[in-house]
Amino acid sequence: MNSLACLTRRFLQASYCLWALVPLPSSAKIYSFIAFIALRVIWILYFSYMLSRGIGFLYSAKKVISAFVGTFLFLGNNVVGLLLIFESILKRNVHYHLDTLRLQSELLLQRLGMSRGRRIVSFRLLLLISLQLVCDAVRTWANHKSSINPIHGLSMPMIWLLRMRYIQMLQHVMDLNQRSVQLRCSLLALASGNDLWQPYGLQECRQLQTLRLSYERIFECYEAFSDCYGWGILGLQLITGFEFISNAYWMLEAWMSANIVIVVFIYNAATTLSMGSLIIALFWYGDAGAENGRQIGCLISKLIKPLASKRYNNLVCEFSLQTLHQRFVITAKDFFSLNLHLLSSMFAAVVTYLVILIQFMFAESTLRVKDN
């Protein structure tokens, strides 16, 4: 592993610990266990305080639709943040099982001489984090110019906890994608050198068995990932989808108002860009993993040898059936799967909701003109 990947992983692991997104350590490590418990207590107290503030805002925002929506969004972010903290506690065994499976798949790929791609993953994650920092700098500047959000600074830890969960999931998904790409390349090399009318060699059979086991471990990683982060994915997609729609509407409202408030437009645009980039990245790499699995399944048929033994051809058929039934798919507790088709449906729903909200906005402005 090169220095960039090593430093990035250490930095991200420390960040996950700080935001209480990793499972509790063993109770045998007493000092670490106490520190992790104390950190979670601090986060729970923080979210409890933020919820009390949000409920107070809710009572004072009854007559203003934008304030009511913003308060509801704020409360939703708090609830999802608490969900993520409790998920990291309750899914401790699944998390450790996922780490074990990832280690096993890595060792199998090393036997095939495939262990590259970590530098690309680290660079892309750093680029995404840098984008979040730039968006926060723009939002802070806009909020300083015109007090748009009274709790902008106070809510920043909560926002970054949600973002770091996205980064954490993206790191796992991108890592699994790299492993499936490595498996596909190794399988492609084996298929390209395959001569149908030559008897198989013992080395080919062993390599095929290693490839099959690698595929099985990667599939088990996908299943463990969905089990470990499923509820968090569901909560994050619901609240970030609502936030995306709300900020897009506020952008249009600021742009179409009589006195264009460019600072408000910039603030909401930066918020939309920061959360939208995380959603798109997660769905993009989730779909890429499924595509890698389909391509691996298409390559299996090229490994059949008419002159090979029954054992070899049975192994090829078993591998082919395995790719049909064991798909590289990330699910949110069977509610939905992460793919580009769902992402396009979400964007279509966003456009529909925005059209409805704009119609209400015009109807409200027309009613005000008539009243005057």
Which of 290, 286, 270 is closest to 236 using CA atoms? 286
User: By residue range, what is the domain housing residue 75?
Assistant: 3-371
Look at the block and give the residue holding tokens 């506690």: 89
Does an H or E element contain 3, and which? helix 3-18
Domain count, the chain: 1
CA distance 369 to 365: 6
Q: What are the helix (H) ranges across 193-261?
A: 202-256
- Res 154 pLDDT > 90: no
- The residue ranking higher by pLDDT, 169 or 24, is 169
pLDDT of residue 10 exceeding 60: yes
DSSP-assigned states of every residue in 27-96:
TTSHHHHHHHHHHHHHHHHHHHHHHHHHHHHHHHTSS-HHHHHHHHHHHHHHHHHHHHHHHHHHTHHHHH
Distance (Å, rounded) from C-alpha 186 to C-alpha 117? 14
The 3-state DSSP class for residue 331 equals strand
Cα–Cα distance measured from residue 100 to residue 224, given in angstroms and rounded to the nearest whole number: 10
pTM value is: 0.86
**Tens digit of each residue's pLDDT (9 = 90 or more) over 159-193:** 999 999 999 999 999 999 988 888 888 888 777 76
Nearest alpha-carbon partner for 274 in 162, 357, 175, 170: 162
Identify the pLDDT of residue 160: 93
> Given phi > 0 = left and psi -120 to 50 = alpha, else beta, which region is 23?
beta
Kindly state the average pLDDT of the residues 144-161: 86
> Does residue 91 carry a pLDDT above 80?
yes
Which one, of 93, 216, 70, lies nearest residue 155 by Cα?
70
Separation between Cα atoms, residue 180 and residue 177, nearest integer Å? 5
User: What's the rounded Cα separation, in Å, for the pair 147 and 69?
Assistant: 17
Mean pLDDT of 192-196: 61
Whole-number percent of the chain with pLDDT over 90:
18
Which pair of structure tokens corresponds to residue 11? 């930095």
Q: pLDDT above 70 covers what percent of the chain?
A: 86
Per-residue pLDDT reduced to its tens digit, 93-142: 888 888 888 888 888 887 766 655 567 888 888 999 999 999 999 999 98
- pLDDT at position 84 is 92
> 187-191, 192-196, 285-289, 293-297: lowest mean pLDDT where?
192-196
The pair of three-digit structure tokens given for residue 315, joined into one six-digit string: 């192994």
Beta-carbon contacts of 154 under 8 Å, excluding residues fewer than 6 positions away, are 50, 53
What mean pLDDT is predicted for residues 207-235?
88
Q: What's the CA gap between 63 and 59, in Å, rounded?
A: 10
Element (H, E) at 182: helix 156-192
Summarize pLDDT for 250-280 with one digit per residue, the tens: 777 777 765 667 888 888 889 989 988 998 8
